[in-house]
A and B are shown apart, each in its own frame.
Chain A
Amino acid sequence: MNAPEKARIDAIDLGAEFRDAGIAEVLEALEHDLVGLAPVKRRVREIAALLLVDRVRQRLGLSTQAPSLHMSFTGNPGTGKTTVALRMAEILHRLGYSRRGHVVAVTRDDLVGQYIGHTAPKTKEVLKRAMGGVLFIDEAYYLYRPENERDYGQEAIEILLQVMENQRDDLVVILAGYADRMEHFFASNPGMKSRIAHHVDFPDYHDGELGDIAERMLAQWNYRFDPAARLAFAEYITLRRQRPHFANARSIRNALDRMRLRQALRLFEQGNPLDADALITLTEADVRASRQFASPLPATESDDVRNLDFDPERDTDRIDY
């Protein structure tokens, strides 16, 4: 049907399309701002390229089916799932697959009600707010609670599925969570799995990458390590990783927060006049005062009662002097 039109347009400059869409700078920023995550960046690039090509095809009358854009981001805590979701929304917006490009981040509490008849309006309200943008459901597996057959989560899942299917043009859903439990969630909700086109796995960061992340965070806050502190922090990362509740970049962030606290106290107590350099420098002492260096790795903690708790990040925010 479109054959004559197809013949007329013979050369398509994908490079020009790429520039016009303005996604180059988003991808560039993604590459530049986020340390590591090579497989994730590659997947995002792939998805962006697919959508770009799809858009060109559509203009030539080749493609008819709107691509399914729902995604699942799996990975351990603190591996950048939320950050990448924000970038993804930006990319979808620039390519015209998302009209507004805003992200509505929710968890189970925002979707599931407390009594009969509460869930549907609550879920629908969230969906309405997310229309035209991206709905980011963090720890999506909490929606499904098999141990309680009267749990209202199932109702939220059903409404979600319906909208994911029928209003694909209006809404992109990104589910995020830890890999093993997401796998379990998908196994018990095959409808959900089949409606999600893109599964992106976020690897853990290496020690070196975490070091880079720490440096970047500090630079952002106008702090820096002195050379000895940098070495000590590399040691800290190795030690911290062996401890339970390790949450990648988030643990690093919390550790840096604690080091800033210690630095502030140190400066406060020494009482001498300060210069700007002292205010921005974290020293080895600030790093080494961490609990990680003091106590040996507790062997009993793995079968500790606390590990029965479902929230692996429970302890990561605790201040450990």
Chain B
Amino acid sequence: MRITQGCFSFLPDLSDAQITAQVHYCLRQGWAVAIEYTDDPHPRNTYWNMSGLPMFDLQDPAGVISELNACRRANPGTYIRINAFDPTQGWETVRMSFIVQRPDSEPGFRLVRQETRGRSLHYTMESYAVARHPEGTRYRA
């Protein structure tokens, strides 16, 4: 099951040229770009791992792309996303976030039903990949 989180998630995966163009847009807006990765793609998992510090004061996407490539080399088979943080007063939040790398196979989620008192059901989701292996080895072949 293909995971759809953030911008462009219903489009085919972005090529490097497209990622560069999007990063360029973010930098033109004056946003700080950060790279994050995880192997727990649960939609409620907002705390991805930071790959380096957020990059402030950049003028050109080349710096971000070289960091992204370094992150790809260090974390193959994980989800990697690019976040763009808008520091202007009143916003001070992530304005744009998109996935730039995903594992080859994404097994998807299982619906877990928990029967509680009075035969009512509580529903939750569980990732097959997360249940299968411990952290760090979930998507390794």
Contact A129 B63 (CB under 8 A): yes
- Is A132 close to B, CB under 8 A? yes
Tally of B interface residues using CB under 8 Å: 13
A5-B46 Cα distance, complex, nearest whole Å: 55
Instruction: Among A102, A128, A167, find the residue whose CB has the most chain B CB atoms closer than 10 A.
Output: A128
Task: Please give the distance in Å from A102's CB to the nearest CB on chain B.
Answer: 5
Of A102, A121, A129, A167, which contacts B66 at CB under 8 A?
A167
Q: Is A133's CB within 8 Å of the partner chain B?
A: yes
Cβ contact within 8 Å between A128 and B53: no
Whether A99 sits at the interface, judged by CB under 8 Å, is: yes
Q: Please report the C-alpha to C-alpha distance between residue A100 and residue B55 in the assembled complex, in whole angstroms.
A: 17
What's the tally of chain A residues with a CB closer than 8 Å to chain B? 14
Tell me, yes or no, whether A127 is within 8 Å of chain B by CB: yes
Q: How far apart are B127's CB and chain A's nearest CB, in angstroms?
A: 33
Query: Shortest beta-carbon distance, A289 to chain B, in Å?
Result: 44
Are A121 and B53 in contact, with the CB atoms below 8 A? Answer: yes
Asked if B58 and A129 sit within 8 Å, CB to CB, the answer is yes
Query: Using an 8 Å CB-CB cutoff, how does the interface string of B46-75 with A read, 1 for contact, 0 for none?
Result: 000000110101111111101100000000
Residue interface bits A275-299, CB-to-B below 8 A is 1, else 0: 0000000000000000000000000
Per the 8 Å Cβ criterion, residues 25-47 of A in contact with B are none
B67 contacts across to A, CB distance below 8 A: 128
User: What is the CA–CA distance of A151 and B93 in the complex, to the nearest angstrom?
Assistant: 40
- B53 engages A132 (CB within 8 Å): no
* B residues whose Cβ falls under 8 Å from a Cβ of A: 52-53, 55, 57-64, 66-67
Chain A interface (Cβ within 8 Å of chain B)?
Answer: 99-100, 102, 121, 125, 127-129, 131-133, 167, 170-171
